């Protein structure tokens, strides 16, 4: 059976360019980038080239890139780093209700450590109102954390407007940009953010790689303690082949961004139109306009999302019920409930996320598979008439 992958927001396959570059580095460059001899200098050169490539993807200076073990560590470093640096007796942090667990659970831990956190609500659009951020600020606020693109809905947040609010209040702004990279142009100076998280495996590099943009002059602490690597921001012998893979993926992503944006938007719109035309009692979750071009989150009233994921898997299509991290959990998605869906409708929702390998033929086949599967599930499901 042919298998087709429509779950690129969960992870992406490693691209051939990245595999080749990383393997070459693994095989040839084994020096410790801190060593002063030839072997060390070779490693250092590769590391710094990767830093320039990663910086170019977000248009920052290479010195503003801190390599991490992934998006989760980048988020944790931003939040704990800024909050722990502050010596104020009262520290307050603002995040949105639809952040990734890497931010939300870091916030929960900070709360246990005595930090106050406000979770700003979002409406049905899944887009944050900058005025709500402004209203959440207090004299004790040290950091605001807002994701650029939501992983479940694909909705984009108005970062530049939010940055105007945080600048005015002299509060740092962190942005989890993991789902934006490679899907929309990212320019950290014009976004006005102080910290920006990236992850390798969402842009066709391996898992376990990431980076945090830290604007020059940002005051923060380390969260790990060891050697003097990464300008004292992140100790540990550098993962040179990993950084090289991230740099290569960043360069490829920057190079074919324009084509990807048009191509993916065309396929996503075709998928959405096909599904909505053929299947009654279905609809798109979140704002349709301010979205990344690759994501579509759709509810199918009267069905169980997990059952639909399994039915589609049996036909060779990989899709998701939303956040990969919460799959298998009985709780409905915190994002879908935050934008006002009932628990029932949240459980009846599926996320389709497209990527480089998808074709028009695959999309057409997926539309038919979804149509058949939903019809079948509604026929056998006892809740079908309650909703549909």
SS3 per-residue string spanning 311-356: HHHHCCEECECCCHHHCCCCCCCHHHHHCCCCHHHHHCEEEEECCC
**61: exposed, middle or buried (Cβ count in 10 Å: 0-12, 13-18, 19+):** middle
State yes or no: residue 153 binds ligand PLP (CB under 6 A): no
State yes or no: residue 7 binds ligand PLP (CB under 6 A): no
Give the residue carrying structure tokens 């920057």: 254
Q: Alpha helices, DSSP H only, in the chain?
A: 16-28, 38-58, 71-85, 101-112, 130-136, 159-168, 188-191, 240-255, 257-278, 305-314, 334-338, 343-347, 360-380, 384-387
By beta-carbon proximity to ligand PLP, the closer residue of 93 and 311 is 93
State yes or no: residue 292 binds ligand PLP (CB under 6 A): no
Is 325 annotated in the active site?
A: yes
Which pair of structure tokens corresponds to residue 377? 């599930």
| Piece in contact with ligand PLP (CB under 6 A), picked from 56-64, 65-73, 311-319, 330-338 | 65-73
**341: exposed, middle or buried (Cβ count in 10 Å: 0-12, 13-18, 19+):** buried
| Piece in contact with ligand PLP (CB under 6 A), picked from 66-74, 181-189, 250-258, 292-300 | 66-74
State yes or no: residue 199 binds ligand PLP (CB under 6 A): yes
- Between CA 291 and CA 293 the distance in angstroms is 6
State yes or no: residue 251 binds ligand PLP (CB under 6 A): no
- Between CA 231 and CA 229 the distance in angstroms is 6
By beta-carbon proximity to ligand PLP, the closer residue of 127 and 370 is 127
Residue of 22, 102, 195, 252 that binds ligand PLP (CB under 6 A): 102
By beta-carbon proximity to ligand PLP, the closer residue of 127 and 311 is 127
- Between CA 153 and CA 98 the distance in angstroms is 10
State yes or no: residue 147 binds ligand PLP (CB under 6 A): yes
State yes or no: residue 202 binds ligand PLP (CB under 6 A): yes
| Piece in contact with ligand PLP (CB under 6 A), picked from 172-180, 286-294, 299-307, 346-354 | 172-180
Residue of 146, 156, 178, 275 that binds ligand PLP (CB under 6 A): 178
State yes or no: residue 176 binds ligand PLP (CB under 6 A): yes
Which of these, 242, 199, 204, lies nearest to 22 by C-alpha position? 242
Residue of 91, 100, 183, 351 that binds ligand PLP (CB under 6 A): 100
> Phi and psi dihedrals of 70, rounded to 5?
150, -175
Shortest Å distance, C-beta 9 to ligand PLP: 6
By beta-carbon proximity to ligand PLP, the closer residue of 182 and 305 is 182
The site string for ligand PLP over 206-225 (x = CB under 6 A, - otherwise) reads ----x---------------
Report the catalytic residues: 325
């Amino acid at each position: 059976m042919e298998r087709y992958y429509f779950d690129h927001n969960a992870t992406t396959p490693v691209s051939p360019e990245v595999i080749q570059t990383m393997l070459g580095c693994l095989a040839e460059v084994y020096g410790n980038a801190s060593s002063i001899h030839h072997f060390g200098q070779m490693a250092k050169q590769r590391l710094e080239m990767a830093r320039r490539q990663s910086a170019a993807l977000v248009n920052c200076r290479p010195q503003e890139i801190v390599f991490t073990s992934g998006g989760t560590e980048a988020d944790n470093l931003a939040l704990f780093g800024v909050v722990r640096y502050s010596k104020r007796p009262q520290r307050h942090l603002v995040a949105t209700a639809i952040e990734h667990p890497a931010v939300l659970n870091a916030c929960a831990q900070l709360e246990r450590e005595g930090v106050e956190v406000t979770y700003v609500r979002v409406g049905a659009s899944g887009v944050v109102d900058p005025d709500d951020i402004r209203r959440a600020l207090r004299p004790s606020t040290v950091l605001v954390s807002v994701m650029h693109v939501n992983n479940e809905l694909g909705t984009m947040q108005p970062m530049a407007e939010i940055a105007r609010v945080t600048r005015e209040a002299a509060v740092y702004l962190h942005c989890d940009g993991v789902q934006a990279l490679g899907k929309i142009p990212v320019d950290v100076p014009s976004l006005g953010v102080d910290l920006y998280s990236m992850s390798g495996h969402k842009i066709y590099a391996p898992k376990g790689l990431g980076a945090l943009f830290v604007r020059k002059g940002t005051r923060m602490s380390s969260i790990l303690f060891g050697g003097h690597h990464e300008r004292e921001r992140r100790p540990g012998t550098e993962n040179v082949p990993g950084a090289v893979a991230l740099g290569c993926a960043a360069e490829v992503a920057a190079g074919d961004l324009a084509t990807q944006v048009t191509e993916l938007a065309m396929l996503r719109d075709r998928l959405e139109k096909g599904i909505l035309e053929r299947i009654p009692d279905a609809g798109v979750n979140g704002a349709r306009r301010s979205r990344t071009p690759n994501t579509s989150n759709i509810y199918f009233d009267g069905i169980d999302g997990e059952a639909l994921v399994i039915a589609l898997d049996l036909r060779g299509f990989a899709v998701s019920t939303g956040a990969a991290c919460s799959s298998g959990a009985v709780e409905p998605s915190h994002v879908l409930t935050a934008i006002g869906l009932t628990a029932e409708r949240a459980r009846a929702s599926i996320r389709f996320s497209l990527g480089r390998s998808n074709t028009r033929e695959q999309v057409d086949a997926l539309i038919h598979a979804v149509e058949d599967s939903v019809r079948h599930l509604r026929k056998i499901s006892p809740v079908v008439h309650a909703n549909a």
